[in-house]
Structure formats: structure tokens, C-alpha cells
Amino acid sequence: MIYHPELNFTQIVYLRVDCPHDGSLKSLCLHFFRAIDQALDANYEKKYALKRHGIETLLNLMRQISNHHAIGILVIDEIQHLSINKSGGAEKMLNFFVTLVNTVGLPVVMVGTPKARFIFEADLRSARRGAGFGSVFWEQMKQEPDIKLGDGKTMRSEWNQFTDKLWRLQWLKKSDVILSNRVRERWYDLSQGILDIAVKIFVLAQLRAIDHGIERITAPLLQATYDEDLRPIHPMIDALRSGRADKIAQFSDLVIPDIDKKLLTLQSQLQQRRAEFDEFSEYQGHEMSIRLHRMLVDIGQESPLLVPTVKKVIQKLPNASMSDLIVVVLEWLKDEKLDESISTKKIKPRRSKAKASLLKQKDWHTLDNEDLRFQFSQKNKEEMLYDHLKTSTNLIFDINDWLPRVS
């Protein structure tokens, strides 16, 4: 609201009204007066709405109040609550909204889930759309390819732009810089272009990657995240894959509180794992030391030398800034690791050879991308390793593709 002191007048910039849960049109009008009373601390509901007025009378009263308070726009939310049976049919309901716009005389925006589509379905196919109604059915993102423009530039599709932007927001140590087509396609198949679901899969997959030591997002990881953590939305995703509006409408109001619970559970597990090292006791509650230790761990400097080095630098440079301390610690860690490596080589006999470290196959998914064992863990069971490397990596040199390009 805006109060104009020179006119002693309060203007309502916008008014938001929730559709009543009983789905009747008269209750919708009563909710309008109730929203005005809540905004202005007035008593319009008692004065007008609680009397035995019909819908036509209530519409005229709504027009008078709208003009009196100069309401800029009326937003009717949860429009899918309206009931055909209690409103007299979809035709009468649509006529009510047209009359509402024409009578009240202010812009009306109606918001709802796909369950409300039946109200406007006929209007979209007829000339009555010119009566002031137009509607936007906000569907999920489409999986479309990029478009090559005439000047050589590429116009990215909406889904590709969205996923590329989101891909940068990773906290994984071995995250791929470029989002592969295989991961992008699996991501879309599991989210069907719904933004909220795509973001939840992205977050849950990162937490799972940290918890399992993979430290990267892969197509099998996204599938495992969807299968185990997103079970409540499987019926909805199946309905979206089918493309049938009647099936989609059945799940338009689906809520998935278990997803947020899963996020909190995984976050607490990760925090508990980090808390196994008692920073407070190690540094005797010294805040600067604890902060410096955490920042160095976050940039991958966790090692047995970290604690004594942090203690040493705080003792030597107690008044230095955090940025200066980080630079000094990194230099000291580098020198200490080098000295330790040299001393180890001197002590070790020449004939001794480093014992090869064996890694069980169940842990191959924690290796680097270039390791063939990691790539073997990422391929489908029925897929040959060579075919996986050729389609999903750059490790296979394709001479048949290379010769035409260089000639």
C-alpha cells in the first residue's frame, strides 16, 4: 500500500486473493472483501459480504471498492480450487471471470496448477479470447538442440543455458568443467525439465558424490540419486514422460517434503564427518586458527602437516590478515612436503620398490576421469568399454573422423 498524505488517501498497489478451498464463486468474492480488510484494517466483509447478496451485487460492490482504493492489479491464486459442480459448470465459471474483468475494471491475473486448465481450454480455441482473456500455460523446459545462426554464432537452447549456468555452482573436487551431453540428457530424463526437480537432483547428487567419495557428477550417480532419493516424484515424472495432459493433471499438486528431509539428513552426515576432527580442542578455541584451518581444508590442503603449520604461522604472525596467512601457509606446506619427500628418499634403500597400491573394483568410481578403471565403472553393464570410451570421452582417437578434417 502507498499512503498519499496530500490527498489523505491509501492506494492499494496490488491485492492477492487465494481461491477458497470449497471452490464456490461466491466464496471467492467474500475472500476479496476479507483481503481488503486485512490490508486496510477495515470492515468491508461485515458491511457487505456477510449479507445475503447475490454474485452480481457482490461484483458491483467489488468494483466500487476497487475504484475507491485505486487497486492496481488483482491476483487470484490457487485457481485450481474452483469446483465445476459448486460453480455451475465450466461455462458459467468462465463467464464469471469475464464479467469480473469487465465489471471490476482492473487487471486480473489468475494463477494455478494444470488442474485449472479446463476453465480456459475452450476459451483458448474460440474468438472469445478477444474479450480480454489470454493465458500462458507454463510447461516444463523442452530438450531442444542449439541453433546455429548465419553469422556463425550459436543460440543456446533454454535447457542448455540453464544447465550450463547451474553446472558452474559445484563444490566437488573432481567436477568436470564441461557438462557432457550424456549427463545433460540423463539430467533431463530424470527431471523432465521441471526447474525445482532439476535443482533438487543437482544438489542431492553433489551430497551423494561427497558422501561416497566420488567427488563428481556422473550419469549413473544422477540415476542412483533419482532412484533412491526421489521416489515420491516417480509417478509425476512418468506422467510427464507420457505427455498426456490427463495424467499430468493428476499430480499437479504433488508435494515432496521427503526431499527436503533427505537434504537435511545428508548435510548433517557430512557435517558430522567433518566434526570428527575437534578443531576447538586442537586450537584451544582460537578463532583465527580455526577459520584458517577450515579455509585451507576447503581448498584441498588437508594433510598431517596442516595443524602444526597453522599453529606455527599464527605464532609467528599474530597480526597478519587472513589472506596473508593463507599465502604463507601454502608456501610453508609446499616447502615442508618437499623436505619430507627428500628425507624419505635418503632413508629408503635403493633396491626397495614402492609397493603397488591395489584398489578394489567397488571403489573404482572414486578415481580420476582419465583412469580407465573409473570409465569402466561408469559404463552400462551391457555396453563394451571401447564403445563407452568412444561415445562419452575423448580417450579414443578416431582416425576416420580426423582424416577428412585435416585434409
What is the rounded distance in angstroms from the CA atom of residue 71 to the CA atom of residue 337? 70
- Closest C-alpha to 321, from 292, 285, 300: 292
- Closest C-alpha to 69, from 100, 96, 35, 101: 35
Residues in the chain: 407
Per-residue pLDDT of the chain (407 residues; tens, 9 = 90+): 898 999 888 899 999 998 877 767 788 888 888 899 888 888 888 887 777 788 888 888 888 888 888 899 989 888 877 766 565 555 666 677 777 777 777 888 888 876 776 666 554 443 344 345 555 666 778 888 888 877 777 788 899 999 999 998 888 888 888 888 889 999 999 998 888 889 999 999 998 898 888 888 999 999 999 998 888 888 888 888 887 766 766 765 554 555 556 666 666 666 665 555 666 667 777 878 888 887 887 777 777 788 888 888 888 888 888 888 888 888 888 776 555 554 555 545 555 454 556 778 877 877 777 788 888 888 887 888 888 887 777 777 777 777 776 66
Amino acid in the structure at residue 243? G
What is the rounded distance in angstroms from the CA atom of residue 231 to the CA atom of residue 255? 12
Amino acid in the structure at residue 48? Y
**Is this structure's pTM higher than 0.85?**
no
Cβ-Cβ contacts under 8 Å for 122 (sequence gap 6 or more):
90, 91, 94
- Closest C-alpha to 102, from 131, 135, 125: 131
Structural contact between residues 63 and 3, judged by C-beta atoms closer than 8 angstroms? no
- Closest C-alpha to 184, from 213, 210, 207, 157: 157
pLDDT of residue 31: 87
Structural contact between residues 23 and 81, judged by C-beta atoms closer than 8 angstroms? yes
Cα distances (angstroms) measured from residue 250 to each of 76, 114, 161, 191, 278: 22, 9, 30, 17, 50
Cβ-Cβ contacts under 8 Å for 358 (sequence gap 6 or more):
none
